Amino acid sequence: MDVTIIPNKLQGTVTPPSSKSVGHRALIAAALSGGFSTISNLGDSKDIQATRSCLSALKTGQPAGENGLPLMDCGESGSTLRFLIPLSLVLRGGGHFTGRGRLMERPQGPYFSLFQEKGIFYQQKDSVLTVRGTLSPGRCSLPGDVSSQFITGLLFALPLLDGDGEIVLTTPLESRGYVDLTLDVLRTFGIRVEERADAFHVPGSQHYESRDFTVEADWSQAAFWYAANFAGGQVDIQGLNMDSKQGDKVIALQYWQLAKPGEVELDVSQCPDLVPPLAAMAAVRTGTTHLTHAARLRMKESDRLSTVAAALRAMGALVEEGADSLTIHGRERLPGGGTVDCCNDHRIAMMAAVSAAFAQEPVKLLGAECVRKSYPEFWNHFIQLGGEAHGLVLR
């Protein structure tokens, strides 16, 4: 779906969707409890749909592929894939994983190194990853600077083993907020984890307890409405938990850091998903902004350093792309008038839409339907706030 954004001020009230990050974790914990849990405000993004489908396959063993192992289609959800790989070993002795887009190109090296140590079979062939074997208790060494998703996957699986496990970090932990989210959900569902220096000790033979759980609103998605306000909008963002464990709530602080004129450097290693809305703000501020320590963005749904830069340049922003950084020279208002390829990346589409709403000339977005991955109601909310998008087909 290609849409043309006609500049028009965004104003009104919006409640961001439920947190996809919290939703994945609550779904998994509830499924492992074996009891009856109610998950409220879960949302229906494509990523959440993938986790629900894969959990069903894990619980039932169907559909089954070669060797009777369950076959799980993770869609484009890196969380689904990496969270469930260790659980498949614990619950089913392994599984076959597939996906779409760039998902199966995303690195799995930390798991593969661990599997070699523990004698677990793995093979990636024709876009299907197969793992087979037994996850044993004991030490699990993982880097902390590739993706926190590997740590979360093991934190879900280790409590179910018949002996104690320990996750030892071999490099500093990035995206710490996502691990904090995992620990918070685990504790809610009755699981104990002891945090130590550069390690997590997980007692074995634990049991998940059923719970009623409400998924809070998503700070990652709220960040795009912060960007709208930064550009001159008047959007009242409601429903956010100010005491949330979500690391991306830091957007509220970063908003004011960028509001001050001059040169600003933001280390985004702990909040990589905020780079698109931060870049949108940086493009229309007084001063130069450096977004640093962002190399991991090259392995998202798109090469997100490259696609953020290309999208903003298409609207007339002044952006320099580094190996692990973006440098953005702000201007009072973006000229607009260009065409943005969303590159099947939901965060590129949302960034471009909000930026285009405040540009001087219309901007065309190619493949704007990709927002359904994480924010199915985005375009409805955009229109309700006064956004004007020609060619838009609402759900």
Active-site annotation, residues: 273
* Single-letter code of the amino acid located at 3: V
Q: Which of 310, 330, 308 is nearest to 264 (CA)?
A: 330
CA distance linking residue 318 with residue 316, whole number of Å: 7
* Single-letter code of the amino acid located at 294: A
Q: Count H helices, E strands: the chain?
A: 12, 20
Residue 148, classified by CB atoms within 10 Å of its CB into exposed (0-12), middle (13-18) or buried (19+), is: buried
**Per-residue b/e over 56-82, b at no fewer than 16 CB within 10 Å?**
ebbeeeeeebeeebbbbbbbbbbbbbb
CA distance linking residue 381 with residue 371, whole number of Å: 12
Give residues with Cβ within 8 angstroms of 251, minimum separation 6: 219, 222, 223, 226, 271, 274, 277, 278
Contact 210, 191 (CB under 8 A): no
> Residue 49, Cβ neighbours under 10 Å: how many?
17
Alpha helices in 67-147 (DSSP H): 78-92, 109-118
Question: Terminal CA-to-CA distance of the chain, rounded, Å?
Answer: 12
Phi, psi values for residue 34, rounded to 5°: 75, -10
CA distance linking residue 290 with residue 265, whole number of Å: 5
